Amino acid sequence: MLSKKIEEVLNKQIRIEAESSQIYLAMACWAEVKGLEGISNFMYKQSDEEREHMLKLVKFINERGGHAFISELKAPNVTFTSFKEMFEMLFKHEVFVSESINELVHISLEQKDYATHNFLQWYVSEQIEEEAMARTILDKINLIGDDKGGLYLFDRDINQLTVSTASTISPE
């Protein structure tokens, strides 16, 4: 059974994950109308992934005797001056989400809710990957600079981008 405190903070995270999905969706739309098909496809996939993160929380709350609430969402930014600015905003947002997840982990330990603590470990690992991906993308964008050919290649290749993190590397 979830405590009211845990239920409350998990419901706040539902909103954050839903807003994350909307942020990625807005970025996908912006990239698509700019002719950046690879970036838009990447963002559509990320939007779907964030929605899945939200649904995991919904199911967890309901399965543990709580009540998941779906609230209004803050409208995302829908225009960007450049794709670099867009990815910089994305990275900052992923850091914000990581901080929120870390606070949830802290609260679950304070409340001695070890089931929720265990459940949240997946989100901790996921955020390590999300931040690493955003950081890698920004590194590549900085390498490209203003080179249009580089942007073309980046847009073409972003869907094949993979990032290995400490949690994804298996020891031999």
Annotated binding-site residue? 53: yes
Asked whether residue 67 is marked as a ligand-binding residue, the answer is no
What DSSP string runs through 85-140? HHHHHHHHHHHHHHHHHHHHHHHHHHTT-HHHHHHHHHHHHHHHHHHHHHHHHHHH
Q: Was 127 annotated as part of a binding site? A: yes
For residue 50, say whether it is annotated as part of any ligand binding site. yes
Query: DSSP per residue over 54-84, as a string?
Result: HHHHHHHHHHTT--------PPPP---S-HH
- What DSSP line would sit under 1-53, residue for residue? ---HHHHHHHHHHHHHHHHHHHHHHHHHHHHHHTT-HHHHHHHHHHHHHHHHH
Q: Is 99 annotated as a binding residue?
A: no
Binding residues for Fe cation: 17, 50, 53, 94, 127
Binding residues: 17, 50, 53, 94, 127
